[in-house]
Structures are given as C-alpha cells and as structure tokens.
Structure 1
Amino acid sequence: MRLEVDNAAVGYGGRTVLSGVSFALEQGEVGCLLGPSAAGKTTLLRAVAGFEPLLAGAIRGDGQVLSGPGVRLPPESRHVGMVFQDHALLPHLDVLGNVQFGLFRQPRRQAESRARDMLELVGLADAGARAPHELSGGQQQRVALARALAARPRLVLLDEPFSSLDPNLRESLALDVRAALKHEGVGALLVTHSQIEAFAMADRIGVVGLGHLQQWGRAYDLYHRPANRFVAGFVGEGVLLSGRVDDEGHVTTPFGAVRSRVAAAGTATDVDVLLRPDDVIHDDDAPLQARIVARHFRGAEFLYTLELDDGQRVESLVPSHHDHAVGQRIGVRLDLEHVVVFPRETQ
C-alpha cells in the first residue's frame, strides 16, 4: 500500500496535539514516526489504523480515502495489520493458535499452513505448541508480528513494539522484523522514541515534536542535513558551536573558516554551526588544542567532551586505543562533509 497522510491533525481530550502532518510512504517501504513521549505519534498511528478520528486533513491508501471529511473507513476494511506495544497475545491459545487466529475465514489446513510459514519466517518454527507466557518478550513480539503478517495486510503498523525489551536486544530484533517485512513485501509504519530502532528499521523517518512533523526523510539526511534545531538536537549527538558567517558564505569558527551554503545579506551574521562527534577529529599535529573534560568508553571508541580555549565545548569520537585522561590537552581539527548552520537565536 502507498500510504499518504495529507495535512492531518489528531488529538485527544478535545486538544489538538499534532497538526499539519503530510508525508507519503511508498509500497513496501518501512517508515517511522520518531519523537519524544506525548508528541502525538501513537494517536496518529491509531488514526491510520482507523481507531481514532482525524480532526483535519486526510489519510489515503493507494489513492482511496481511509479517513477524511465525512469518511472514516472501519479498521477491518483497511487491510492494515497492527502490532501493539503489549503484544495482545491470547493466553488461552498456543503460539500457533495465536498466529492462526485471524485466518478463521480460510480452510483450516490452509490457515495452519500459513501460520506455520509465518512462524518460520520470524524464527519460531518450533514454538507453535508453546503457550505465550513461556516465551521471552522478544519471542512474543515475533509472534505478534507473525500474526499480523499471516492475514496478508497491505500495511503493518507497529506501536512502540520493542519498548519493553532489553536495549541490547532492540536493534537486532528491529533488523529481524525489517527482514521479515521485506520478505513479505509489506510496508510498515513504526512509532518509537528510540533512534536505534528507527535507524535499524526504517527507510524513511519522520521526526515529530512541538506539535508538528518537523522533517521527513532518510536517516542519513536527518543526521547530516537536519531541517531545524529541533531535529538537530533530537537526532544523534552533537553541539552547536558559535560562528560568524560573511556575505560569501564563509563561517569563522574557533577551528578556522569553513564554507557554508548560507550567506548573509551583505553583513556579517552570528550563527551556530552543528558539529557531530564524527566531525571533530583527534590529530596530534593539529594547531588547535582542546582540554578533555569528560570521556565515555564505548568499546571501539571513546566519546570525548572537549573544552576549547574560548570555553565552548565540542564532542569527538576517537578510536579507543587513543586512551587520554581527563584534563589532558589533545590536538583537534574539523572534517566537515556537511556544514549545517542555524541563525543565532537571541533571548
């Protein structure tokens, strides 16, 4: 299904929480709504499913209006599968029965064959006779996905599907879920507040916050080409370094001048330059030095927090065999592929 959300608004308790939302998800793509808690992500997902009304705008599936002015197609008529945060497995049925539950209109042998195929797809081929409570949280989530896929939906919706799992399992399970969706050729829309899940699963990500969809695009673009300060701050790590841009687009920073596409209108303008930790390179031969004020060991890398001579701080990812102590000064330089500049905000 090609999903199109057009200028949609949703809310609850008589209050609009998200408005002006527009994006498109192509057939077979995995999309994600990423944002902080209470941003309206789940409410919008439920509106796509048909469980919540729209306050404005429209939702279309393959050109058909699912929700819009005077139209609200019931959930069972949308050909959409839903995977809930709490799995919603039926405790009185075994795993195979749970997956087979939505196939009651099919001949029994055909439904059972389809259910077994889906359990094999999610790596639980031998778990059909087990009870849901005998499974781990990650296994229960796989069963919920298998049940959603068994009915051959045109789109699968996933509401914070990995939030109850150990953080170490989330990325690997997200990759497995993505592989299962791609195998079936089914698109999906995921809601999460976890960048790890979003980056692992999604072809396109929408950052939701402050009542609006702030940016819709690939993870690479959200990280390297954020549309605004909110996206820059919410996606990935980084700091905003003070700079000054001239009318030719040269930005003066403590690291020297860098080139930006942003040009001032004939006068110098104060700006903030977004620096990701991978933009700041440890280089013993660099003329600029910074003092290490904090360090976090990440196995293959250290994340150093560095203080420049003017008091501004930046972060740098450094291979972990460069083991420097807090208080030590090290040489640093910039390696900027994407120069992202925001006008300086005044209080």
Structure 2
Amino acid sequence: MQLELNDCAVGHNGFAVLSGVNLRLQQGEIGCLLGPSGAGKTTLLRAIAGFAPPYHGSIHSQLDGVPRLLSGDGVQLAPEARGIGMVFQDHALLPHLNALDNVRFGLFRLPRSEAAARARRMLDLVGLAGFEQRYPHELSGGQQQRVALARALAPQPGLVLLDEPFSSLDPDLREKLALDVRSALKAEGVGALLITHSQTEAFAMADRIGVVADGALQQWDSAYALYHRPANAIVARFVGEGAFVAAESLGGGRLLTPLGETTCSNSELVTGQRVRLLLRPDDVIHDDASPQQAEVVARAFRGADFLYSLKLDSGDRVLSLVPSHHDHAIGQRIGVRLDLEHVVVFGG
C-alpha cells in the first residue's frame, strides 16, 4: 500500500501540535517518524489509522493502482475499512489466549483450519515456531512484541503502523528485534510506518525517516541524507552526534574554520560571510603529526573507539571518534585535523 499525506495538521482538543505534514511512503517501504516525546508522532499515527480525523489536509492510500481517500474533504474512513494493521506499544495481547489464538483472533472470517495455518505461518515468520501454545505471561517482552506483529500481519494488511514497538525492551535487544521485524515485513512485502525517539531503531529498520520537531515534519529522507545532508540545524542537532563551529567564507569555495581551511560547494556564500559549520565525530581526525592541537575535556569508551570531546584553541568544542588504542587522558593535548567529505553549513 502506498500512503500519502498532504498538508496534514493533527492535535488535541482543537490545538494543532503538528501541521503542514507532507510525506509519501511507497508500497513495501518502511518509514519512521523520529522525534522527541510530545512532538505529535503518535497523534499523527492515530490519524493515519483512523482513530481521529486530521484537523486539516488529507490522507490517501493506493493499493494495486487503486487510490482511496482515507481522511479529508468530509471523508473519514473507519479504521477497520482502511486495510491497515497496528502494533501498539503495550502489545495489547489477550492474556487468556495462547500465542496461536492471539494471532488467529483477527482471522475470524476464515475457516478455522485455514486461520490456524495462517497464524502458524506468521509465528514462524517472526521466529516463534514452537511457541504456539505459550501464553503471554510465559513469553519475554521481545517475544510478546513478535506475537503482536504476527497478529497485525495475519489479516494481510497493506500497511502496518507500529507505535514505539520496542520502547519497553532492553537497549541491547531493540536493534536486533528491529532488524528481525524489518526482515519479517520485507518477507511479507508489507510496508510499515513506525514511530520512535531512538535513532538506533530508526536507522536499523527504516527505508525513509522523518524528523518531527517544533510542530513540523522537518525532513523526510533516507538515514544517510539526514545524517550527511540535514535540511536545517534542527535535523542536524537531532540526528547523530556533532557540534557547530563558527566559520567564515573566504570566497572561491574556501571556508576558514577553527581547524584551518576547507572547501565548500555552497555557491551562495559570499566572501566574509559568517556561517556555522557542522562537524561530526568522524570529520575530526586524531593525527599526531598535525600542527592543530586540541585539549581532551571528556571521553567515553565505546569498546573499539573512544568518543573524545575536544576543546579547540578558539574555544569551540568538537567531537572526535578515535580508535581505542589511542588512550588519552582528560587535559591532554592531541593533534587533530579535518577530513570533511560532506560540508554542511548554516547561516551564522
């Protein structure tokens, strides 16, 4: 199912918390709405599911070339008529039913044997073959989430909505389960839209990600583009780690930074213009031979790497990801240099 939102506004009690939302999710794509708590992600998901109408704009779907208006222009299609499945944050499993019967619950229109076969196949798809007779209280949180996904996939929806599906799980389990869920969705050829505040989950699972903040969908793009080509400073701050430093255009595509000169393809910059340069941890390279020095002010051990927080002579602070055999103490000065493949600048 293809999903399209046009100039949508959603909110609570007559107050719009999110407006001007435009996005398109192609059939079979997995999308993610990424943003802080209270940004309006769940409210938008509920509008897509049909639980609440948008205040403004329209929501459309298209399946096998047939377009449908789900919401807008006086139309508000009921949730059960949209061909959309939903996986809730709390799993919403029925405690008195085993895993097989929880998945089979929505297949009441099928003959009993056919429904059971479909339910078994869905449990196998999500890695729970052999768990058919387990009750929810006999399953781990991750297993319960897999049952909820199997139940959502069983009626063969065109799209599945996932409301922070991994938020109750241990951090180490989230990324693995996100990858497993992605594999299950792709195997069924079903598209999905999930919401999360975890970049790890978004990057592991989604084909396209939308950053939701400050009452708007700031950017709808691939994870690579969000990280390396953020549309604005809001996206740059929210996605990945990094720091802004002051820089000045020298003209001719040259940029003067606290770590020396670099080139910039932004043709709109004029000589003398002050800008803010985004530096990611992989842009700042530890190099003992470099004449540029920086002071280690904080460090975080990450196993294979250290993430160093460095204070430059200009007073700016930047981050640098350094192999962990370079073990430097706080207060030590180390050589650094720029290695920029993506120059991202915003107005000063």
- TM-score normalised to structure 1 length: 0.98
RMSD of Structure 2 on Structure 1 (CA):
0.9
Q: 1:272 to 1:186 in 2, by over 3 A?
A: same
Q: 1:69 to 1:281 in 2, by over 3 A?
A: same
- Residue 131 of structure 1 is aligned with which of 120, 132, 135? 135
The one-letter amino acid paired with 1:166 is: D
**2:105 aligned counterpart, secondary structure:** helix
Which residue does 1:47 correspond to in 2? Answer: 47
Which residue does 2:56 correspond to in 1? Answer: 56
Where do residues 153-168 of structure 1 align in structure 2 (5 Å cutoff)?
153-168=157-172
Does residue 143 (structure 1) correspond to residue 162 (structure 2)? The answer is no
Distance 2:321 2:171 in 1: 22
State the 1:258 CA deviation.
1.3
Which residue does 2:231 correspond to in 1? Answer: 227
State the 1:264 CA deviation.
5.1
Q: 1:113 to 1:332 in 2, by over 3 A?
A: same
State the 1:262 CA deviation.
2.5
Higher alpha-carbon deviation: 251-260 or 43-52: 251-260
Which residue does 2:346 correspond to in 1? Answer: 342
Where do residues 201-240 of structure 1 align in structure 2 (5 Å cutoff)?
201-240=205-244
Confirm or deny: 8 A CA contact 1:238 1:277 kept in the other structure.
yes
The one-letter amino acid paired with 1:275 is: L
The one-letter amino acid paired with 2:220 is: W
Distance 1:69 1:39 in 2: 26
Higher alpha-carbon deviation: 257-266 or 158-167: 257-266
State the 1:263 CA deviation.
4.1
State the 1:327 CA deviation.
1.1
Where do residues 73-112 of structure 1 align in structure 2 (5 Å cutoff)?
73-112=77-116
Alignment gaps of 5+ in structure 1: none
Which residue does 1:35 correspond to in 2? Answer: 35
Distance 2:61 2:340 in 1: 41
**1:322 aligned counterpart, secondary structure:** coil
Q: 1:265 to 1:255 in 2, by over 3 A?
A: closer
- Runs of 4+ with >3 A deviation: 263-267
Confirm or deny: 8 A CA contact 2:249 2:270 kept in the other structure.
no
The one-letter amino acid paired with 2:27 is: Q
The one-letter amino acid paired with 1:248 is: G
Distance 1:246 1:159 in 2: 48
Higher alpha-carbon deviation: 306-315 or 81-90: 306-315
State the 1:246 CA deviation.
3.4
Question: 1:13-61, CA deviations, whole angstroms, 9 ceiling, x for partnerless residues?
Answer: 2110000000100010000000011111111111111001111111111
Alignment gaps of 5+ in structure 2: none
State the 1:141 CA deviation.
0.2
Confirm or deny: 8 A CA contact 1:157 1:188 kept in the other structure.
yes
Confirm or deny: 8 A CA contact 1:247 1:267 kept in the other structure.
yes
State the 1:259 CA deviation.
1.4
Which residue does 1:319 correspond to in 2? Answer: 323
State the 1:72 CA deviation.
0.7
Does residue 273 (structure 1) correspond to residue 303 (structure 2)? The answer is no
How many equivalent pairs are there? 344
Higher alpha-carbon deviation: 194-203 or 266-275: 266-275
Where do residues 270-309 of structure 1 align in structure 2 (5 Å cutoff)?
270-309=274-313
State the 1:124 CA deviation.
0.7
Which residue does 1:22 correspond to in 2? Answer: 22
Confirm or deny: 8 A CA contact 2:249 2:269 kept in the other structure.
no
Distance 1:278 1:343 in 2: 22
Confirm or deny: 8 A CA contact 2:253 2:264 kept in the other structure.
yes
- TM-score normalised to structure 2 length: 0.97
The one-letter amino acid paired with 1:60 is: H
Percentage of identical aligned residues: 68
Which residue does 1:5 correspond to in 2? Answer: 5
Distance 1:23 1:245 in 2: 35
Distance 1:126 1:301 in 2: 40
